[in-house]
């Protein structure tokens, strides 16, 4: 029992095993720190720019991992006591307004929309306390017609649900999922209710198919006259219709029970006015509902998220109405769950780790994010109210229970102005009141602003899922959806509501870190893309970027990689997933960070520079039969190529070529043991990237169905652009030319192994400087080049610089001997590059791949030659700078000594003249 004499309506439990997890996290942090130390202390001469890039990526990964600990450090789990709620309040329950939002009758079919509406109308809650509002941003008369049909079907459906306590209460979902045996009475009524539903379904689908309402229906229902002035979905008047009036005693079901209020709203749209997407629709609903029902609790659900648990309203009220802590809770967020998730989750769309782990972690620090659907709000908080310790919720009766003087028609006409396209202008709506404008994820930024006003939120994840929706069935749709989410979260980070600075001191540090994890989804793309490309390119050249397997520094890398993936697998399995589902999750982790998040970063930068504006893309909720069948079989659907798929394909092919190159080198070149000892981690990384991309390779080369990657202008145009970026990175980072700078006293000799007869050897040297302050001569050095058989290839005398090439007639060690005949030490920059065109003629020729490999090899050699020339020019430039600097110093020294000599001579002349005059004066006196 609480301090106020009441038993609590909910309890909070902390996760078990927190101490063990914290020890594990500390050990991982130690391993990450050792990796950072290794990078800083072992900077190589060759490949240093790639090394610095990996250091930057690993610093980012380590920092981001530290942020993610906010999701796991202090997890909280909630449990409600609905029986106490019923005993304590009985019929004195608050009114609940339910908002259902739809925007496109094609992507969001009307039949799906009304199933969601019917499911929330049938909640196990006093129906006179419920008011359901459908916001149709598509302004579709077909959607309105479907809702009109649903209002009639509800008279039969609601009594059936309450009589037999059915779950779920979406008719379509119930008819499919019902498998328990029924008694004779229920079986009989089920036949009747299924027939009524089938007739309604047939009428709605026919109207949706022809795209208009039958004429006899229009003549029967005068409400359709509101569409007479309708021009398009972006140009129409406000359409407001109260289909079921909760105050009307005649609005009852077949059992005589009052039906919930049911309202249709299509807010005014004009092409010249920005409508602010879902945030604008929600704000219009808040204003209109405040004059019709005024429920102190608001639930908003997406049109594809039907209610799967009829007790969810009572669960939420256990938090709001708790006498001890309920007054500080602004919203209760239920997880988003989906009914069309396959067993192994090919697109990892369930986000089960977020639902089962991460949001519980946020709940331990003051509450989860508001994620746009399945969320119960306190109306006061949505209207901009700040939290105060003395605040108590007002659970007084809603407007449905107060008599209104005006008729339904008068009320509708009166309230249309609240949904006009200009109502928000010069008001606080969208800034301090309602959902905030200007962000693709208006839900997250709104929840953050509410929490910054002092309120808390609660995450409740019941055993029976509260809401079930549908996820996209194709990869491009999933990537576009995640682009919108990550772009919106990044915009929040850069906005005035940023959790990094605006929320500082207003919410807990753990909650700040939790928000930043999602806000930094998009920047993750840069580090992941770098890690996916550069190590593979360096692997192709045999340049190691990780410690050798025999080095002690290999252990931190191995420990962090292994234990983090083992922990991730265990966490995924604990959350209800499968091993293959976890592997698919790793693939989607890579795909989202190398495509969706990368485009989100680019679009955010363009928006900040004023080149583009944010948009809102609706995900398709239906798929054709072929796509659905492939999705159910866990076959990845690529379809028509898009820029995102182009990037994924390019990176995947690059890693495949690099892996083929290193395998070829292992068997035909240096040998397996050298690859094993020097580039083990790079080989494993490249191999895993190839393995994870197997579905993509199948879609590129093997599949024949429509789900394969289709050739298109986007693919043709996108590949060269992305390849150009990769080549620029390659040109700026690879250091494949052998080069050395040394100081020569008398003679120095070097050897270089030319592996293939007929290779072209490029050589250059530059005498950078001479260690003699007063050495003015332009003395050079001698260079003698000899082949493996001792034959002399070249002989240069007294050269300060030279660049030449020769063809090696024999493979083996070539000697390069420098001789210095001057008495001074000289510093020499010496470079060697061997051009070798690698091309093997396989037994099974491929007319497509062989020319491609040939061109890649030629391009590779061109890059090496460019780098060789670059080294030569850099050395010449440095030499000239040193010569110029030396000449300047010598000129200054010469001027100084000349001035000193002149001054000395002048002093001597004065002294001698004075002595001369003194002698003459003495002679005169005598």
List, by residue number, the catalytic residues: 137, 443
Contact 246, 131 (CB under 8 A): yes
Contact 378, 320 (CB under 8 A): yes
* Cα 920–Cα 921–Cα 923 angle in degrees, nearest 5: 65
CA distance 2 to 907: 104
Q: Which residues of 288-319 are buried (b: 16+ CB within 10 A; e: fewer)?
A: bbbebbbbbbbbbbbbbbbbbbbbbbbbbbbb
The dihedral formed by the CA atoms of 903, 908, 910 and 911, expressed in degrees to the nearest 10: 140
CA-based end-to-end distance of the chain: 133
In sequence order, the 6+-apart residues with CB closer than 8 A to the CB of 664 are 840
Contact 430, 279 (CB under 8 A): yes
Strand partners, 833: 762
Residue 532, both tokens: 């996916």
Residue 675, both tokens: 């690859």
Task: Return the closest-CA partner of residue 665 out of 689, 688, 682, 690.
Answer: 682
The dihedral formed by the CA atoms of 436, 438, 441 and 444, expressed in degrees to the nearest 10: -40
Contact 799, 780 (CB under 8 A): yes
Residue 93, both tokens: 């329950």
Contact 750, 830 (CB under 8 A): yes
CA distance 800 to 829: 11
CA distance 452 to 474: 37
**Cα–chain center distance at 723:** 22
Most distant CA pair in the chain, distance = 162
Q: Count the neighbouring beta carbons within 10 Å of the beta carbon of residue 639.
A: 17
CA distance 488 to 157: 39
Look up residue 393 and give its DSSP letter.
Answer: -
- Tell me whether residue 772 is exposed, middle or buried, using C-beta atoms within 10 angstroms of its C-beta: 0 to 12, 13 to 18, 19 or more: middle
Q: Which residues of 819-830 are buried (b: 16+ CB within 10 A; e: fewer)?
A: ebebeeebbbbb
- R_g of the chain, CA atoms, integer Å: 38
Q: Give helix 475-493 / helix 597-608 axis angle, nearest 10°.
A: 40
Residue 691, both tokens: 């393995």
Q: Which residues of 193-215 are buried (b: 16+ CB within 10 A; e: fewer)?
A: beebbeebbeebeebbeeeebee
Contact 110, 161 (CB under 8 A): no
**Cα–chain center distance at 262:** 38
Residue with tokens 């491009």: 476
In sequence order, the 6+-apart residues with CB closer than 8 A to the CB of 572 are 352, 353, 581, 582, 585
CA distance 389 to 383: 18
Helix, strand, coil fractions of the chain, as percent rounded to 5: 50, 15, 35
Task: Return the closest-CA partner of residue 171 out of 204, 210, 134.
Answer: 204
In sequence order, the 6+-apart residues with CB closer than 8 A to the CB of 249 are 258
CA distance 860 to 857: 5
Q: In what helix (H) or strand (E) does residue 41 lie, and over which residues does it extend?
A: helix 18-41
């Amino acid at each position: 029992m609480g301090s106020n004499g009441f038993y609590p309506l909910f309890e909070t439990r902390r996760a078990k095993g927190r101490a063990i997890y914290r020890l594990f996290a500390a050990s991982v942090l130690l391993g990450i720190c050792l990796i950072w130390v290794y990078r800083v202390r072992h900077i190589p001469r060759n490949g240093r720019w790639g090394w610095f890039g990996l250091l930057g990526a690993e610093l980012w990964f380590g920092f981001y991992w530290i942020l993610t600990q906010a999701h796991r450090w202090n997890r909280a789990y909630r449990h409600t006591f609905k029986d106490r709620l019923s005993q304590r309040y009985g019929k004195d329950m608050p009114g609940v307004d339910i908002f259902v939002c739809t925007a496109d009758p094609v992507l969001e079919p009307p039949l799906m929309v009304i199933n969601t509406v019917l499911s929330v109308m049938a909640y196990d809650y006093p129906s006179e306390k419920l008011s359901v509002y459908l916001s149709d941003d598509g302004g579709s008369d077909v959607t309105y017609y479907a809702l009109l049909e649903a209002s009639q079907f509800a008279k039969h459906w609601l009594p059936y649900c309450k009589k037999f306590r059915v779950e779920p209460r979406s008719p379509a979902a119930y008819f499919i999922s019902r498998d328990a045996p029924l008694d004779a009475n229920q079986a009989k009524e089920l036949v009747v209710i299924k027939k009524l539903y089938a007739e309604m379904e047939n009428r709605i689908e026919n109207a949706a198919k022809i795209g208009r309402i039958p004429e006899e229906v229009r003549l029967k229902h005068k409400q359709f006259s509101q569409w007479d002035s309708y021009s398009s979905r972006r140009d129409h008047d406000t359409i407001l219709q109260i289909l079921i009036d909760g105050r009307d005693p005649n609005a009852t079901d077949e059992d005589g029970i009052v039906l919930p209020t049911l309202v249709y709203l299509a807010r005014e749209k004009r092409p010249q006015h920005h409508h602010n997407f879902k945030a604008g629709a929600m704000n219009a609903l808040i204003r209109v509902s405040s004059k019709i029902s005024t429920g102190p609790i608001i639930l908003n659900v997406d049109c594809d998220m039907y209610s799967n648990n009829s007790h969810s309203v009572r669960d939420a009220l256990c938090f709001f109405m708790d006498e001890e802590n309920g007054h500080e809770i602004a919203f209760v967020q239920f997880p988003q769950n989906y009914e069309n998730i396959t067993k192994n989750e090919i697109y990892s769309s369930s986000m089960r780790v977020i639902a089962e782990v991460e949001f519980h972690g946020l709940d331990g620090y003051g509450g989860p994010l508001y994620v746009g659907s399945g969320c119960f709000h306190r109306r006061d908080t949505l209207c901009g109210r700040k939290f105060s310790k003395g605040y108590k919720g007002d659970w007084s009766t809603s407007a449905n229970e107060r008599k209104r003087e005006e008729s339904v028609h008068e009320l509708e006409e009166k309230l249309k102005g609240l949904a006009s396209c200009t109502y928000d202008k010069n008001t606080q709506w969208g800034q301090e009141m309602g959902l905030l404008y200007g962000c693709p994820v208006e839900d997250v930024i709104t929840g953050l602003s509410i929490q910054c006003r002092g309120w808390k939120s609660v995450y409740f994840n019941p055993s029976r899922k509260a809401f079930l929706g549908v996820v996209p069935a194709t990869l491009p749709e999933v990537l576009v959806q995640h682009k919108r989410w990550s772009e919106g979260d990044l915009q929040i980070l850069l906005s005035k509501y940023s959790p990094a600075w605006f929320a500082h001191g207003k919410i807990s540090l753990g909650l700040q870190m939790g928000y930043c994890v999602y806000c930094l989804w998009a920047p993750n793309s840069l580090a992941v893309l770098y890690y996916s490309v550069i190590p593979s390119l360096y692997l192709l050249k045999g340049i190691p970027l990780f410690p050798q397997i025999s080095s002690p520094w290999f252990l931190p890398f191995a420990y962090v990689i292994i234990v983090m993936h083992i922990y991730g697998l265990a966490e995924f399995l604990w959350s209800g997933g499968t091993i293959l589902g976890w592997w698919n999750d790793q693939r989607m982790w890579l795909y989202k960070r190398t495509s969706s998040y990368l485009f989100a970063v680019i679009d955010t930068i363009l928006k900040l520079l004023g080149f583009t504006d944010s948009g809102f893309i609706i995900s398709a909720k239906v798929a054709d039969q072929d796509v659905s069948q492939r999705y159910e079989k866990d076959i990845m659907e690529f379809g028509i190529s898009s820029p995102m798929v182009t990037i994924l394909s390019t990176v995947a092919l690059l890693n495949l070529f690099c892996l083929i190159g290193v395998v070829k080198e292992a068997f035909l070149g240096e040998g397996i043991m050298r690859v094993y000892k020097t580039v083990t981690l790079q080989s494993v990384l490249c191999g895993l990237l190839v393995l994870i991309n197997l579905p993509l390779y199948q879609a590129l080369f093997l599949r024949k169905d429509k789900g394969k990657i289709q050739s298109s202008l986007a693919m043709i145009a996108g590949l060269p652009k992305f390849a150009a970026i990769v080549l620029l990175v390659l040109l700026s980072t690879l250091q494949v030319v052998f080069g050395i700078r040394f100081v020569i006293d008398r003679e120095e000799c070097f050897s270089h192994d030319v592996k293939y007869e007929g290779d072209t050897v490029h050589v250059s040297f530059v005498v950078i400087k001479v260690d003699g302050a007063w050495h003015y001569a332009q003395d050079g050095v001698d260079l003698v080049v000899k082949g493996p058989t001792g034959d002399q290839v070249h002989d240069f005398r007294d050269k300060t610089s030279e660049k030449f090439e020769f063809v090696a007639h024999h493979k083996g060690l070539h000697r390069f001997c420098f001789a210095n005949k001057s008495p001074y030490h000289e510093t020499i920059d010496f470079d060697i590059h061997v051009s070798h065109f690698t091309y093997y003629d396989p037994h099974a020729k491929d007319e497509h791949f062989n020319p491609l490999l040939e061109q890649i090899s030629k391009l590779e050699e061109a890059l090496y030659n460019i780098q060789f020339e670059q080294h030569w020019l850099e050395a010449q430039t440095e030499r000239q700078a040193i010569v110029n600097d030396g000449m300047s110093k010598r000129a200054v020294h010469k001027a100084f000594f000349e001035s000193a000599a002149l001054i000395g001579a002048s002093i001597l002349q004065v002294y001698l003249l004075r002595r001369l005059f003194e002698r003459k004066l003495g002679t005169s006196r005598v």
